[in-house]
């Protein structure tokens, strides 16, 4: 590959990363704006915060390209360490540094995921729908705060951009998926694409009209009053009204009512907090009742729920995992905390617990695959043992030649064949492993 092609690919990767960060900043802007609505005199300005988070996306991706953390826990720890060091250097040990630390940790964590995710799968359609939902929820909550008035126009423009990007990306993803072509340009009939563009355009126009309803109402109201005044002036002739005759006596002003003592100035803050807490408890209780009654729903509602679940799961990132059989659990697995606690109590399988040589060969094979997983290899369950052996050669220090491993042949014989494994072959495999505790 020539140097110009390498530079072109690097430039495309940087532009793709920058666009992904900008899109995610735009989608989750209501969350970042919350601290400025509740605390207008926040120490860090909004443009500086946006630039810091955008840099966090790019730095997180660059760091994970070097360390290659595939598990979310490692990426979260790395993001927290980098965010803590950056916020301490920029803001010091202050209370205002807590919010940038949380936001920057999230940006670094999401940026590190970009390094192990295909560019087309960084933002799924449900991500765009979630971001648009944040805008609608924020417009309801923030309107009761005085600090939101300074960001109203910015919030409106950002919401329209997020809505347009959501409609465009979800429609593009749906068309590309339904054609089953997989090409950059979907193979769809021109009439279908034209009707699709028309439908999306109408939906976007209706959404914009709904968002700008108050502004349009004010504009048309002012226009109507102007036309009414103009017609009134034309119908009156000269357009000038005659001054009413003066009575000679000045109109006496009515005395103002004295203010009522003890007038209501709103509820105290602690009362509002208690009322909000009671409302939240009631909403949570209603949701809990609904979730408990899900098993008693009619059949058509259960089918609707399963269809919606399939709709939101259809965009899962399966391009790197290949075909894997779906496994359905008969027993309920319970909550995650219980499963983690039970897993900690389970005893690990030991060599002395293995019944025969075939089980011991399978145990050695799992140790062999696990040794490469610890070195950074991403295990793919759909590959055969020989394909896995060829795949892990990139992690070895050899010249790239696939080494013949007798463990693979023994494992295939133990799993798929009917021949028994001799003790001599087992001892040879144990010697090659070198770390089995018997």
* Average pLDDT for 363-376: 82
Distance CA 324, CA 383 (A): 10
* Average pLDDT for 79-87: 90
* Average pLDDT for 398-413: 69
Please, what is the average pLDDT of the chain? 74
Residue 68 · residue 376 · CB < 8 Å: yes
3 state SS of 90: helix
- Residue given tokens 């933002």 in the structure block: 123
Q: What pLDDT is stored for residue 438 in this prediction?
A: 64
Most confidently modeled range among 19-28, 62-71, 270-279, 427-436: 19-28
The answer on pLDDT for 317 being more than 50 is no
Mean pLDDT check: name the lowest of 267-276, 336-345, 410-419: 336-345
Q: Which carries the bigger pLDDT value, residue 183 or residue 105? A: 105
Q: What confidence tens digit (pLDDT) does each residue in 129-179 have?
A: 888 888 888 887 887 777 788 888 888 888 888 888 887 777 777 666 655
Residue 24 · residue 110 · CB < 8 Å: yes
Among residues of the chain, what percentage have pLDDT more than 70?
66
Q: Which carries the bigger pLDDT value, residue 313 or residue 426? A: 426
- pTM higher than the cut 0.75: no
The answer on pLDDT for 91 being more than 70 is yes
Q: Which carries the bigger pLDDT value, residue 247 or residue 309? A: 309
The answer on pLDDT for 361 being more than 50 is yes
Distance CA 54, CA 44 (A): 15
Q: Which carries the bigger pLDDT value, residue 423 or residue 109? A: 109
Q: What pLDDT is stored for residue 190 in this prediction?
A: 67
Where do the structural domains in the chain lie, given as residue ranges? 1-122, 124-233, 351-433
Residue 165 · residue 128 · CB < 8 Å: yes
186, containing H or E segment = none
Distance CA 290, CA 254 (A): 59
Q: Which carries the bigger pLDDT value, residue 162 or residue 256? A: 162
Q: Which carries the bigger pLDDT value, residue 418 or residue 110? A: 110
Q: What pLDDT is stored for residue 399 in this prediction?
A: 46
Q: How many other CB atoms are found less than 10 A from the CB of residue 368?
A: 20
Q: How many other CB atoms are found less than 10 A from the CB of residue 396?
A: 13
Q: What pLDDT is stored for residue 403 in this prediction?
A: 58
Q: Binning pLDDT at 50, 70 and 90, where does residue 264 land?
A: very low
Q: Binning pLDDT at 50, 70 and 90, where does residue 183 land?
A: low
* Average pLDDT for 15-19: 86
Q: If we measure between CA atoms, which residue out of 174, 62, 153, 181 comes closest to residue 113?
A: 62
How much is the CA Rg of the chain, to the nearest whole Å? 33
What are the distances in angstroms from CA 244 to CA 237, 239, 241, 248, 320?
A: 18, 16, 9, 12, 86
Q: How many residues does the chain have?
A: 438
Q: What confidence tens digit (pLDDT) does each residue in 191-208 have?
A: 766 777 777 777 767 666
Most confidently modeled range among 19-33, 278-292, 351-365, 418-432: 19-33
Q: What pLDDT is stored for residue 245 in this prediction?
A: 53
**CB contact set of 436 (below 8 Å; sequence gap of 6+):** 351, 364, 367, 430
Residue 362 · residue 411 · CB < 8 Å: yes
Q: Which carries the bigger pLDDT value, residue 101 or residue 299? A: 101
b/e map 257-273, b = 16+ CB within 10 Å: eeeeeeeeeeeeeeeee
Q: Binning pLDDT at 50, 70 and 90, where does residue 319 land?
A: very low
Mean pLDDT check: name the lowest of 177-191, 202-216, 350-364: 177-191
Distance CA 401, CA 406 (A): 16
Q: What confidence tens digit (pLDDT) does each residue in 208-219 have?
A: 666 666 566 667
Structure tokens at 414: 């133990």
The answer on pLDDT for 7 being more than 70 is yes
Q: What pLDDT is stored for residue 322 in this prediction?
A: 52
* Average pLDDT for 118-136: 82
Q: What pLDDT is stored for residue 306 in this prediction?
A: 73
């Amino acid at each position: 590959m020539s140097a110009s092609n390498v530079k072109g690919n690097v430039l495309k990767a940087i532009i793709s990363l920058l666009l992904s960060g900008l899109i995610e900043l735009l989608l989750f802007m209501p969350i970042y704006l919350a601290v400025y609505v509740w605390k207008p005199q926040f120490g860090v300005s909004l443009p500086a915060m946006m630039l810091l988070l955008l840099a966090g996306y790019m730095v997180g991706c660059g760091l994970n390209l070097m360390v290659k953390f595939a598990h979310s826990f490692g990426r979260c720890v790395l993001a927290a360490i980098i965010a803590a060091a950056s916020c301490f250097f920029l803001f010091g040990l202050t209370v205002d540094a807590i919010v940038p630390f949380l936001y920057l940790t999230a940006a670094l964590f999401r940026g590190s995921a970009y390094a192990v995710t295909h560019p087309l799968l960084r933002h799924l359609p449900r991500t765009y729908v979630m971001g648009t939902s944040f805008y609608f929820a924020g417009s309801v909550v923030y309107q009761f705060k005085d600090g939101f008035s300074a960001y109203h126009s910015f919030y409106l423009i950002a919401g329209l951009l997020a809505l347009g990007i959501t409609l465009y990306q979800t429609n593009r993803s749906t068309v590309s998926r339904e054609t089953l072509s997989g090409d950059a340009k979907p193979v769809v009939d021109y009439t279908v694409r034209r009707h699709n563009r028309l439908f999306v355009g109408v939906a976007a126009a209706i959404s914009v009209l709904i968002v700008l309803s108050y502004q349009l109402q004010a504009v048309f109201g002012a226009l109507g009053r102007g036309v009414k005044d103009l017609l009134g002036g034309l119908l009156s002739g000269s357009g000038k009204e005659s001054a009413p005759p003066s009575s000679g006596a000045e109109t006496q002003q009515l005395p103002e009512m004295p203010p009522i003592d003890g007038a209501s100035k709103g509820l105290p803050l602690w009362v509002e907090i208690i009322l909000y807490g009671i409302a939240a408890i009631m909403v949570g209780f209603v949701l809990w009742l609904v979730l408990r009654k899900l098993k008693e729903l009619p059949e058509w509602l259960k089918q609707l729920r399963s269809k919606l679940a399939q709709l939101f799961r259809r965009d899962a990132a399966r391009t790197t995992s290949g075909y894997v059989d779906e496994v359905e659990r008969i027993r309920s697995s319970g909550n995650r905390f219980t499963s983690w606690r039970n897993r900690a109590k389970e005893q690990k399988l030991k060599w002395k617990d293995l019944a025969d040589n075939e089980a011991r060969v399978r145990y050695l094979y799992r140790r062999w695959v696990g040794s490469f997983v610890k070195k950074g290899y991403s295990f793919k369950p759909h590959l055969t043992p020989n394909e896995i052996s060829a795949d892990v050669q990139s992690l070895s220090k050899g010249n790239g030649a696939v080494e013949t491993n007798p463990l693979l042949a023994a494992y295939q014989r133990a799993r798929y064949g009917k021949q028994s494994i001799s003790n001599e072959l087992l001892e040879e495999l144990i010697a090659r492993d070198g770390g089995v505790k018997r």
